[in-house]
Structure 1
Amino acid sequence: MYLIQIQLRNWRSYRNATFTLPVPDRNGKRNVILIGAQNGVGKTSFLMALYLGLFGREAMHLIEGFRSRTGADEKFPSYQRLIESILHRPSREIDEPHCSVTLTFEIDDAHVVINRRWLFKRGGKVRDLDSADGEEVLIEANGRKRLYPNWQDANRRVEELLFPSNVMPCLFFDGEQAQARVEAAGGRALFDAVKALYGTGLLDQLGDSLRSFINNEKSKLTKDVGSVRAHELEEKRQELDRYKDQLKENQEALVEKRRERNSAEQAREQLENDLYSMVGDKATDIEEYSASMSALTQEEANLKSELVNGVVSLALPLALSRNARSVVCDLEAEIVRSRWLLLKDEAADKASKIVESVLPSSGSAPVTPPLTVSQSNQLRGALETALESLWSPPPEGCAPDFRYGFLSDADRSSVIQSIQKAGYGSAANLADIAVDLHRVTTKLEDTRQRFERTRDIQPQLQKLKVDLQLALDQSRELTSMVGGLEHHERGLQSSINDLKAAIGQMEARREAGSPIEEKLDVAQRVRALVDDAKEYLIPLCKDALEQQCTAHFVAMISGEYTKFKTRFEPDNEPWLEGPKGQQVLLSSLSGAQKRAFGLAFTLAVAGVAQTNAPIVIDTPVGNMDSQYRARVLQYVSEAAPGQVIFLSHDEEIDERYASTIRARIRKEFLVEFEPVEDGSGVSTVNEDSYF
């Protein structure tokens, strides 16, 4: 099965785009298709087109932002909002807006084409999605086209032609969601999907159908066969059903007790490790604490000495502190007076020259008409008074007289600085020393307490021994319970085998009765065969999935989990089981290991189902380091049974990593985006191009 073409029309940022995807070459070594696009350009749109194009609303829970939607009441309106958000924005204003996805698959040299189209009203409001007016599905298979009247029939046809909808997240997924996808694989949904691919799901359906058929035919049977042997045979069959139900309950209880036993063993191992660690490490801790106390004691003594010397040096500043402000103010005022007197002397001399030049003391002023002597004297006095205002009165802050006349202006400034420095510098330094002393004293006390606690470990050892004994007792009790359940299981299985043998002998001796009885006999035999096949195939499916997932995971990682094996149970999260039975839950792995596990699970599903369906991964190695990326990309490319399509941006699979899988690359695409208006644009697909 190959995906050979995707056509997108008015699909988010794609106005009208086509991806033509080649099948792998004849020897299957060139099977990788690399699609590059920056964030927000179209990678997620490609993945959404696969989900919604194949199964529409049944795939809605796989879309980011809609994964938590559950319940029939809110499912339809959520689907409506999702479809309305997908329509290409500029297309909303045309007369009959629509968006569509056309997917073309090649299966055994024949083509299957699925075209799903959504119709809108002008303005972007989607039409009735429960009818062909809102969502229409056209499927072409075996050369015949059919437009399906409803989405349910269309989805059933897609499952018949390709795969069940619950298998899809195993094949198409976002690498960032690998952890959630694989954790879900531990749940019933994806485990049932693998059973469906493997064929055991068909046996479940067949067994249920046979049981319904037998019950219906018995209700129709009104004639008394009058045979004690038939009555005994029916009782045997009912007894067999009861034993099978008991066996199922016993097996479920056995699984739970084994899990509890494994948890108890892990707790016991942890307590043993704690005990060994305490005994072996305490001596080293005592030496380290002793050295720390010695160093801290010396530092405390030095800081105390500095603090004492600093307090002594505060004597002079404290003596000055009462009159220091007054002295500083007087000195500052004298500096102002000195500058004012200098200005006054300079200005008075210049003022005299100005008056003399305007109104000379001898002769007359050069004005017309000439001034009288009285006028000249009056003007001279007014001019002298006006010029005197340049320096009189003295400026604010000027001293009335010199108190420290023996000092120059430079000496006054030096004295001010000395007083201020003596008043503030020492106190600030002492505050820092006091803070350091408090810190050292606190740390020293804390270290002493740790030293005392470490030196006396006897109570801690005693508590660990008690806890360890309790853990041992619990482990023994659970082991005994597991043994009892296993013994009961063997007894039930033996009883079932005996009943099957007895029923077989009775059926062999029984002569054919009425046609209805003959049909019932045949149905019972077939049902028994189906039950036997299920008991064999379901564990085989689980074992095969675990083995292949383990092989793929170990091949991609490095480090402490190379000897661990993958374990799956239908109703639990997957885990890794170590050689000593220790369990490591998937949720406790690193981000890169979770993503590698997700890829390993996909390869295992494809291998168990023996399907070569395409595998599409968005950002497959996004959070991995350089060694992980190269190794994982190369391994997935080689291990994938068919097409593998990587969706990446330029910082994930750049040219360096692309070169490691160059020999596997069949086709490259580069998606580029061009803005058209605020909030929208057009994505263009460029073939044979990459970053």
Structure 2
Amino acid sequence: MWISKIELTNFKSYRHADFNFPEPEGEKNIVLVGGINGYGKTSILEALYLCLYGKDAIVHLARAGLKTDEFKGYPSFLERAFNGEARRASEDLMSVRVVVQKTKTKGIDILRRWYFRTSTGAWQEDEAVVRETTRGVPGMPKTDGKNNFLLSEMLDDNFVPAHVAPFFFFDGEEVKKLADQNRIEQVKQGLEGLLGVVLLRNLAERLKGFEGYKRSGIANVDDQNIDRMLEALTADEAKLKALRLDAEQSKKKLDDLKAERNSYFERITAAGGGGGDIATVKDLVEEREQLRNAQRDVQKSLERILADKLPFHLMPRTLLQEFRTQLQREVALTEWQAECRALQPKRAKFENAFLGAATPAISPQLTEEQVVAIKGRIETAWASLFHPPPANCAETITHSYLHESLRDRALSFLDSIDVGQQEVLDLLNQQRELTSRIEELNRKISRVEGIDRDGTLAELKKNLSRVTADIDAMETHIKDDEREVIGLEVTVNNTRSRYQQESKRRDETSPVRQLLNKSERVRAVVEEVIPALFPLKVKALSEAMTRVYKQLAHKTQVARIVIDGDGTAHILSKTNKEIGFDRSAGENQIFATALIAGLAEVSKVKAPLVVDTPLGRLDSKHRANILNFWIGNANRQVILLSQDEEIDAEFYKRIKKNVSATFLLEHEDVGDGLGRTTVVPNKYFGGAA
């Protein structure tokens, strides 16, 4: 894989320039582009990033060592990159084209264009058009971001993913900067790039900004009050669930106690305890049980009248009627509002259809003032369909604590609260009659005599009395549970109604809350995942760095480099003892260069290297080692953007057999403080190549 072409049009100091690079063959895998500082070497590296990665290039340009601090983002960078001569000539187009050959016959041709306003030179938009080529014949064009095509996905699969690009396309100054850091920071920074941590952190920052923007538009809702209501509702529902469970378990225990009581009846009868008398006792007890059940039902009816209906009869009738009327009018108002909301979206459709109709033609054509007047009349006419509201609608919502279904339930309840004096008197009479009959049965049961000849019957009767007492206590407990359940159900229903109303208002005024919660959860996952990623690659990186370091360093006693999970690097001797090298500039840069090369190897991406200012601070020995490393893999294209003091004419002669192409950048002043860079192929410092 190699870059076969870079074409610049109106990019920085280039009016137009073509760089055509041959395929690496034999020993020739180096391309030299020479230029004095300020002549446009770095512009080539910037153009490569912008063409491939578009808006995302700004982040990766900074990671590759290119200075972007003076720019305030993508638009600012582009406006400064737009060629001054083109701006002076009122042109509006800047473009960069990069052709990548995957094989001799197949390639990818990427052309990114940027359009500017001719009046101000401000950036308007850009597009990237991609063609796959076969034997130089381009295929159908595909536009990035359209018809489900994404250039970033193609680069991930076929070239260099954006997050690892700084390992392949970088400024030598980045190596210097990396070398000036302590080695733990060097390794951490490299691993973060390899693992895409930069992308994750960028995602987290974008999500944080998104959350801040969305929260600014959320209406003020008392979240604490809603949380308190939810807490109270949850506690009451748990208590209600426990009471119902206790009542259910108590009824099962009651059934067991009754079965035990029947067993004592049968055993007493079998022991000869009075024959028919015992059967009479059983019948009396069962009859008393039936009467007690009926008595409980009457008591419940009285309690419901007292709790549910009687309080409303203590209210003035006019106030109750006003409440009923207001609820009916509020129901009518909410139904009318729902109808309005359902029709409102059709207004814009009607207006667009009305104003956008081509026939019948209006001649002469309406003026802007007339169009505005027509829109105003449409608005007035549309509003007249809804206002004023029907006469049976309430002017305002007084009972806002009730949503629509609760208002209907409230009206139904008001229709059911009528209770007459006779109904209460009948229930009281039934209660007195049942109480009298139960007392009579108790007296009858107490008069029944048993026979106890050897003490067995006495013991059985004692147990019978105990079980009967337990039954009475359990029935009382069940009754208490049922009474508490009734009261708690009312409380839970009221709390749930208020909570649902407030939650609905919060959701209606802030439809993005759920989205914000998801965003916060994603950010939390990102923060948790990042530290766990490092151990995934440290072993492979250690091995790759060891191989590269041995090729680059003067010293031969280094056996291996070991990297811990936290990024700490250990340089070990052949006896596994850590070597404490001095932190000279050359040693540190060799370590940093080995790190970048190791990261590129571990990424498994087979891509060319493009290096600006490649040999900045190295001495002649290290410089030769690095060049030997670059030419060591003859299949990898290496494009070096060098100034005259790095790879000078003399050094060029030493590596000429490995150079496949040379270019020399020349510069001229074209007035108004503008400069123009021209590219001279087959030429380098010191004369013709």
TM-score interval (norm. to shorter): 0.3 to 0.5
User: What's the TM-score, normalizing by structure 1?
Assistant: 0.44
User: What's the TM-score, normalizing by structure 2?
Assistant: 0.45
